[in-house]
Structure 1
Amino acid sequence: MQGYAERFDFERQIIRGWVFDPEAADNRDVRVVATFDGEIVGETRPSATRGDLQKITTQDAWFSLECSRRFTALDVVSGRFLVKALSDGREAALSLGAEGLATLRKTAVEELNGVSSTTLWSPEDRNAVKHQVEAGNLSPMLMPAGLPSMDGSAVIGLRGHLFLTGGTNSLLSLYDEPVDDALLSRVDQWMDVLAQRGEGCEARGARFVQTIIPEKLTVLREDAPLDIDGPSPVLLEIESRLRDADFYVSGLAPFEEWNEVDDPFLMTDTHFSAVGAQRMFSALAAQIDPQLVPLVDGVRMYQFRHAVGDLTGRFRLPFYSRIVEPSADELAAYAGGLTMVEKHFPADGGMRGRRFRWTNSTAPSPLKVLVFGNSFFGTGDFAGYLSWWGKHLFREFHFHWGPDIDWDLMDELKPDLVVGQTVERFLNRVAAS
């Protein structure tokens, strides 16, 4: 059996990871159990697929396991707490990769020294200063550029920006990848997938648009304490091949001549700021429905607040982004008929398979748009999410969180236009459809 226990949430007592038994007829028959001093304290089975495991298996392999007894990093490192896979009388312990094990050991040392395993600030501490954050009373601190996060997957850059450098996609390795037969073959496969998407949409009477959003490291490379010359070789090759394609919207072009006061990415996050999403959506609108471009470009950003980002937790310090966003009245003329008709979250708690659907009788565009993408479209709650713009401007806007085109869903919804969206770091694995 193959697999890893990859992520430990010590506050919620949850372990996530994957397991695959090539000898099992159905991988969902594999049991994943957690034991504490030999006693079973949690049990589950693989319940979802994951894109980065496609080379290993197309069966459900990802699991999320909740335990009935609280455990700590020290319990895991000491061996008191174990995660095992059981299948047809066979048993295998699931371990961490080298990077995860190093992080776990570091957390265990912090526990021995009396430091919280999840953050240097307890929930009580954070609540005590919440009103200071809401009032904007944050103090700038000077930190050395290049300082790595606690888990080694991110670094502090210039001007207060945090940058993802590692993670499950080994982000930095993308920039050093040679332009060899393996890379060109992967690009060929991407071209085939995109051609199939276009043909499938055309056969169903829908238009097709594809975009690839670049990494924060690519766009803000001058602020990164690393030698990043430009986009990754694989993104450059794909952009070169699709330069004249009528279905492709470049994710690089909107940020090449940046002249805004605010940055296109949030300081403590890997995702767009509101103005970054505005620029990206304007580029998409120019391809989808050009009448929307002046409406998008005319939205003003003048409200301020502060929030942590998806990279904050990696440093175990309460780093915040200053968020600039439009007020509710900026698109008020197109919000009167806006209704969320679906908000679906998968039972396994994962991101893939989430669905968000809106109808808007006051939208300026009559199009029904279906997007297959990821967190850059997100929940639509904030103008930094591309879905925020889509739900205001299209008569129907549907977002499905996933890397592949779901043709059955498309046949059900019958959209006027389909958008495929991925990000630079995911180009190392080709979408299935």
Structure 2
Amino acid sequence: MDSLVADMTPPPLAVEARTRVAPVIDWLLAERIGLAHSPELFGRFCDRFAQTGVPLDRATIHIPQLHPQLRARSMLWQRDSGEVSETNRAHGVETTGDYLESPVRRIFDGGHMIRRHIEVPDCPRDFPILEEIEQEGCTDYTIWPLPFSSGGLVNAISFASRRPGGLTALDLAMIEAVLPAFGAVMEMAHLRRTARTLLETYLGPTSGERVLSGAIKRGDGEVINAVLWYCDLRNFTELSETLPLDEVIALLNDYFEAMARPVKAAGGEILKFMGDAMLAIFPLAGLNPEGACTACCTGLAVAEQALVGFAAVNEKRAAAGKTPLRCGVALARGNVMYGNIGDVERLDFTVIGPAVNLATRLEDLTRDLALDPPVVFSAAIAANCGRQSRPLGRFKLKGIAQEQEAFTLA
């Protein structure tokens, strides 16, 4: 049964199949630009395809992902509800029994179309998913490779029917005839989604959206008012020279996760990780004075939350007999240039300006003054944060001409 339908489809049947699916293919080509959302595309395709007479009651699609957290995405369409549910598969799913015993694995490994005519007594029951499909009342199941043109990526798409007698030879020929067009359009939607995911991962949501919107030329950017949020890990050079590389990477990941999670939760934009430091912003564009005050207060609250997470990292390290880490957090507020900077062929979407310099230099005071908690912020933050702060005095900071006032949490 594991053979290509093309091998058993007479030419007249193939011609009829192409004729019947032609309206679906025309619709796919006409709507390919507007259908950028993969679940919507899959659901509407299944609805349209079922209208051609193919007795579809259930369909799934499985697409490997280029994603830091996900190995694959799966979508399930059910005719009864007309809805599509989406499931994210984390890295490591490829080692689980559910995957290893699935027909999806067979397809991903380069297999051809698989059909299991469930209502036939001698039908092989070699995949656990068949029991679930049979319990839903299905009589026939087939899964196909759905190749994409880029990188040799192979996906899997399955169809199941409740009709007594299952799928006919014409039904199978129609599936085979429509898949190339559907695969091409789904690939476009998938690539758009992948591009957005990668840009958000490496640039941040706002910067990624700006790039997708066309802000890609060197020098493209704008002046914005923002709260600058900066953190730095103490004695990292010493740690990196004395610890194994894999342990250094692990501690950096733990540290950055503790710092980044509350920043993202509060709507901040992480611009970059620089060795053992992290720079983020809370833009103030469009905010009234009260909103700006809230943003400054939010930045300080995020610093406190980050230090709670950082303390948890150190508790974990202490339990493992490892040296505790130390860090500092600094905040400043001011106008910065937010845009594309760099070489003509290698650009960075970032911020530059006096407020950035001030934040990075203020952070040194958390070490020099042995602050506990290790948080320091500028006069502009202190004046607008809506909470009590403790003045530390005026300081001459490296690279900044005028002395600067510094404050910490009261």
Task: Place the TM-score, normalised by the shorter chain, in its bin.
Answer: under 0.3
Greater radius of gyration (CA): 2
Could you state the TM-score of these two structures normalised by the residue count of structure 2? 0.22
Q: Give the TM-score normalised by structure 1.
A: 0.21
Q: Which has the higher helix share?
A: 2
